[in-house]
């Protein structure tokens, strides 16, 4: 089977934002060459201060559509489309997924399970087409918040908006949460989250494509790791769901004030923020 690759050269500081955009454009896999790994013989390498991202698509129309969207959002990025014959790209990008340890949690792919340290709460996430293997800074920032909140509020109720692989919802459940709901507007993510629940023997997490308007009740902890513009758009609906604490991620450092203002306007009180690389997590308390 042949695939179409879209190779993009991008300034290192935009690397992660572009990767997120490519995930949203339904790439089937990404390869990132940013000088942090030894170059493979014969492989094109990025210029100094730049990264090369190779995004794979199942066919040329999908790749062309993605390239047009990238050109609009990142006009300075250079790119090229190319047909790729029968290459085992899937195992290539999957094999780069690294396990993470955050607080009491260990999150990793199935083939790393044997190396997981004893005494950690384990979560196995098979890297597939849903976001949330644990090793992205936005996910690990949220995992730390889940660990902290569950320590202080055992049996808390949790809503995970944009659950992706289900990683945050499952982490909360494994750390003792009571009612847990995970929603995503992508049906494939929900399908894969169900698979991950089964692999981890997790029961009692309600996963669905329900909109926030359809989700009933309020939750002690609300998590939303989605991009800044979506968070701002959803701010009135997200705010209505918060009983105690809200955690937002998917926000780039320069976007923090805009996102914070949107949630303050909904009556939430800022309760600190944590930066990891170019990403920031924002915490809020319910305003009552
Ligand atoms: C960055 S991923 C986060 C996945 C996981 N929660 C994590 O922390 O790793 C964002 C997820 O939000 C979903 N999403 C995007 N817009 C959404 C919306 N308006 N409503 C619900 N989910 C949305 C995407 O499909 C994606 O699975």
Give residue-wise pLDDT tens across range 83-101.
876 555 445 566 667 899 9
114 and 214 belong to one structural domain: yes
Q: What is the DSSP string of 150-194?
A: HHHSTT--EEEES-TTSHHHHHHHHTT-SSEEEE-S-HHHHHHHH
182 and 270 belong to one structural domain: yes
How many other CB atoms are there within 10 angstroms of residue 87's CB atom?
Answer: 13
To the nearest 10°, the Cα dihedral for 61, 65, 66, 72?
Answer: 160
105 and 88 belong to one structural domain: no
> Which mutation among 184, 212, 229, 247 tests ligand 1's pocket best, with the greatest number of atoms within 8 A of CB?
184
CB of 255 shorter than 6 A to ligand 1: no
8 and 67 belong to one structural domain: yes
Q: Whose CA is nearest to atom 23 of ligand 1?
A: 162
Which of residues 78, 93, 108 is at a domain's end? Answer: 93
Half-sphere exposure of 283 (CA within 13 A, CB side): 16
85 and 190 belong to one structural domain: no
Q: What is the pLDDT of residues 109-129, one digit of tens each?
A: 998 888 899 999 999 998 777
Q: At 250, which CATH number? A: 3.40.50.150
To the nearest 10°, the Cα dihedral for 113, 117, 120, 123?
Answer: -10
Q: What is the DSSP string of 112-144?
A: GGGGSPTTSEEEE---SSSS--S-SHHHHHHHH
Q: What is the pLDDT of residues 157-209, one digit of tens each?
A: 999 999 999 999 999 999 999 999 999 999 999 999 999 999 999 999 999 99
CB of 227 shorter than 6 A to ligand 1: no
CB of 166 shorter than 6 A to ligand 1: no
162 vs 48 pLDDT, higher one: 162
State in Å: Cα 230 to ligand 1 middle. Answer: 9
113 and 76 belong to one structural domain: no
Q: Which of 96, 103, 85, 102 is nearest to 127 (CA)?
A: 96
Tokens representing 50? 């730049």
76 and 146 belong to one structural domain: no
Number of domains in the chain: 2
128 and 148 belong to one structural domain: yes
136 and 259 belong to one structural domain: yes
Confidence of residue 135 (pLDDT cuts 50, 70, 90): confident
Ligand 1 atom at minimal distance to the Cα of residue 138:
8
175 and 253 belong to one structural domain: yes
State in Å: Cα 96 to ligand 1 middle. Answer: 22
196 and 262 belong to one structural domain: yes
Question: What is the rounded CA–CA span in Å between residue 219 and residue 209?
Answer: 18
Q: At 64, which CATH number? A: 3.30.70.120
Question: What is the rounded CA–CA span in Å between residue 275 and residue 132?
Answer: 18
Range of the domain at 33: 2-93
Find out whether 192 and 129 touch, Cβ atoms under 8 Å.
Answer: yes
Q: Whose CA is nearest to atom 25 of ligand 1?
A: 186
User: What does pTM read for this prediction?
Assistant: 0.73
243 and 117 belong to one structural domain: yes
């Amino acid at each position: 089977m042949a695939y179409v690759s879209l190779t993009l050269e991008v300034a290192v500081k935009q690397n992660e934002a572009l990767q997120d955009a490519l995930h949203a454009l339904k790439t089937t896999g990404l390869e990132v060459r940013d000088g942090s790994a030894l170059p493979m013989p014969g492989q094109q390498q990025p210029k100094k201060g730049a990264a090369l991202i190779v995004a794979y698509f199942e066919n040329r129309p999908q790749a062309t559509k993605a390239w047009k969207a990238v050109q609009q959002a990142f006009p300075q990025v250079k790119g090229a489309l190319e047909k790729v014959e029968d290459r085992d790209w899937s195992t290539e990008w999957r094999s780069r997924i690294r396990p993470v340890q955050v607080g009491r949690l260990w999150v990793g792919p199935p083939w790393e399970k044997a190396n997981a340290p004893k005494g950690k709460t384990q979560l196995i996430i098979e890297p597939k087409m849903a976001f949330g293997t644990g090793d992205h800074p936005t996910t690990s920032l949220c995992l730390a918040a889940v660990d902290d909140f569950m320590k202080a509020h055992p049996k808390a109720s949790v809503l995970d908006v944009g659950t992706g692989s289900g990683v945050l919802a499952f982490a909360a459940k494994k750390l003792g949460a009571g009612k847990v709901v995970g929603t995503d507007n992508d049906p494939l993510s929900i399908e894969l989250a169900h698979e991950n629940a089964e692999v981890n023997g997790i029961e009692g997490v309600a996963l669905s494509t329900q909109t926030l308007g359809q989700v009933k009740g309020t939750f002690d902890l609300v998590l939303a790791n989605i991009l800044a513009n979506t968070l701002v758009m959803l701010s009135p609906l997200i705010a209505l769901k918060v009983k105690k604490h809200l955690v937002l991620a998917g926000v780039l450092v320069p976007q923090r004030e805009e996102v914070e203002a949107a949630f303050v306007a909904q009556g939430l009180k800022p309760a600190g923020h944590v930066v990891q690389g170019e990403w920031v997590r924002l915490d809020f308390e319910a305003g009552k």
